[in-house]
Amino acid sequence: MENKIKIFDESNFDLNETEIEIVKKINDNIDLFLSSNIIALEKILFYSKSSISRLCQKMGFKNIIEMKTFAIDKKSKLDLYKVQKEEDTYNRINNLIAYNVYTINETLNSIDAKQLNNICNKILSCEKIFCYGIGSSYLPAYEFSSNLLKLGIKANAFNDLHVLLLSLSSISGENLLVIFSKSAAHSEIVFIIETAKKLNIPVLLVTNNKEFIDGITYKIVFEDLYKNKRIIATSSKISMLVISDLIYYELYSKIESSNTSLKKANELIKEWQFFKTNNNSDK
């Protein structure tokens, strides 16, 4: 199985067609790129020194040296993400590790801290948070809703379109709809986003879809290793759970009363455990 990890993801930058082809050529010949000076790169890439320098800056690097330093660091992580032929159980275990390590590392490294802060401030200003997910995406939606409740934030999780629509149709005040979906292309997801736009309900979308989607107020994109393999449904779920936990972690730091809320929740859980232990009616 071919390892398709890119050192530089051209889709993350505002590049023209020529620059995109240059980045692809660098990715395909990364060792040659690292071992060549800028004069040699002119001949290898058929690109002038000034154009290479501008490309570096458009990609967020001060110069070619900084770009190479990034590439060396990224390349050193490739062994963690090495995917093998799925010939036996050992290789399948290794591949599952690679999928999940990649998606967690790359997702968290790509998080925009400013945007995360804005999302948390929005959540704190809302009367209620509506969380939605289909299939395996419902798990992170449910976990996120549960974590918000621990912080004293009103939240509900849905995996039924009809129930969600009934709830959205009757709300008032400031609210937020949080959707967990790998592709965001499912007909239910598309319809919900359009409905939220009509109802003027802001939407946070947690997805792997990097394309522009009308009606989305906030979007957090997670990374995956192989978009066309079904196994990614597993690592996608992990990514969405990590993002859910990250938002919860950030919210926790912002809420002074969170410790009190969590303490009350833990006390109620302990009361239930004590009741269950000492009540024989279920036996």
Give the global pTM: 0.71
The full set of domain ranges for the chain reads: 1-76, 112-267
Give the C-alpha distances (Å, rounded to integers) separating 251 from 105, 211, 279.
21, 27, 37
The answer to whether the CB of 37 falls within 8 A of the CB of 52 is no
- What's residue 100's pLDDT? 85
The answer to whether the CB of 242 falls within 8 A of the CB of 144 is no
Question: What parts of the chain have a pLDDT lower than 70?
Answer: 1-5, 79, 225-234, 256-262, 280-283
- What's residue 35's pLDDT? 92
Query: What end-to-end distance do the CA atoms of the chain give, in Å?
Result: 53
CATH, domain range 1-76: 1.10.10.10
pLDDT in tens, 145-174: 999 999 989 999 999 999 999 999 988 889
Distance CA 92, CA 50 (A): 46
- What's residue 261's pLDDT? 64
Pairing of strands 218-221, 175-180: unpaired
Distance CA 30, CA 76 (A): 12
Pick the CATH number of 112-267 from 3.40.1350.10, 3.30.1490.20, 1.10.620.20, 3.40.50.10490: 3.40.50.10490
Q: Which helix (H) or strand (E) holds 241?
A: helix 232-254
Topology agreement, domain 1-76 and domain 112-267: no
Non-local (6+) Cβ contacts of 91 within 8 A are: 84, 85
Distance CA 53, CA 280 (A): 75
Strand order in the sheet with 175-180: 155-158, 128-133, 175-180, 203-207, 218-221
